[in-house]
Amino acid sequence: MTRPVLIIETGQPVASMRRHGGFSHWIRTAAALPRDAAVVVDVERGAPLPAHDGFAGVIISGSGAMVTERLDWSERTAEWLGAAAHAGTPLFGICYGHQLIAHALGGEVGWHPEGREMGTVEIERLPQSDADVLFTGLPTRFDAQATHLQSVLRAPEGATLLARSEHDPVHAYRWREHVWGVQFHPEFSATHMHGYVRARRTALQREGLCPDAAHRGVGATPHARRVLRRFAHYARHRPEARP
């Protein structure tokens, strides 16, 4: 029997989108994980983290928090992720999770100097991703959903950059052969992205961005979702995933 995948919730969707469930539900659905193949731990609300060796892999969600706030629950999770990464546990961080893994492994996270990236954005896959188990075979350019103010400003030592956008040069990286971070949201559908643009309408206008243009630009992102599904398959089917 294969060990379950651990989903670490570091936050919840914006209030207007919670009728669609929490991030763990969005992730599990997008990753095509059966309900009994995933265990959820909500670290933002104080849940303790279990031993990492009981899981086939770990997926870390996005959050409305900022890594630079150095919140107690976030720093505890970063310490846990660092230990799990060095122990060989497969990790996959999404947005905040991507940044938190980078922080845990010695990278630098901070406010993006050009501000917010939001909407359906074009991701450019870098040549070194050709041999990556999650990115190989994807189009050189593909669409993904994104919403963030902070970014990985410097990837951890030893990391391989896999993808970028026009806005953000570190949209995806791999550390060693079993740890990935993606700034984009492979678990977001077009419905989720539309909801986030609506929720951030005032902020977008205040920052000189056009929410109507962002809405018009939202589309489906099947290739981004494939990255998450490939991680779930990789984690659950490697030999070490069985007790």
The predicted-structure confidence for 119-173, as pLDDT tens digits, reads as follows 999 999 999 999 999 999 999 999 999 999 999 999 999 999 999 999 999 999 9
Report the pLDDT value the prediction gives residue 133, as an integer from 0 to 100: 97
Amino acid letter, residue 21: G
Does 185 participate in catalysis according to the annotation?
A: yes
Report the pLDDT value the prediction gives residue 242, as an integer from 0 to 100: 80
The mean-pLDDT minimum among 57-61, 166-170, 224-228, 237-241 falls in 237-241
Q: Where are the extended beta strands (E) located within the chain?
A: 5-9, 38-42, 57-60, 91-94, 108-111, 117-125, 141-148, 150-154, 159-164, 172-175, 179-182
Report the pLDDT value the prediction gives residue 15, as an integer from 0 to 100: 97
pTM of the model: 0.98
Distances (CA, A) of 48 to 8, 51, 151: 10, 10, 26
* Choice among 185, 192, 194, 223 that is catalytic: 185
Report the pLDDT value the prediction gives residue 243, as an integer from 0 to 100: 79
Instruction: State what percent of residues in the chain have pLDDT above 70.
Output: 100
**pLDDT above 90: residue 19:** yes
* Choice among 171, 187, 192, 194 that is catalytic: 187
Does 95 participate in catalysis according to the annotation?
A: yes
Please report which confidence band the pLDDT of residue 241 belongs to, taking 50, 70 and 90 as the band edges: confident
Average pLDDT over residues 57-61: 98
Distant-in-sequence, close-in-space partners of 187: CB < 8 Å, separation ≥ 6: 23, 26, 27, 29, 30, 31, 94, 225, 228
**Are 10 and 47 spatial neighbours (Cβ–Cβ below 8 Å)?**
no
Does 210 participate in catalysis according to the annotation?
A: no
* Choice among 95, 103, 178, 194 that is catalytic: 95
How does pLDDT run across 62-99, given as a tens digit for each residue? Answer: 999 999 999 999 999 999 999 999 999 999 999 999 99
Q: Is 242 exposed, middle or buried (0-12, 13-18, 19+ CB in 10 A)?
A: exposed
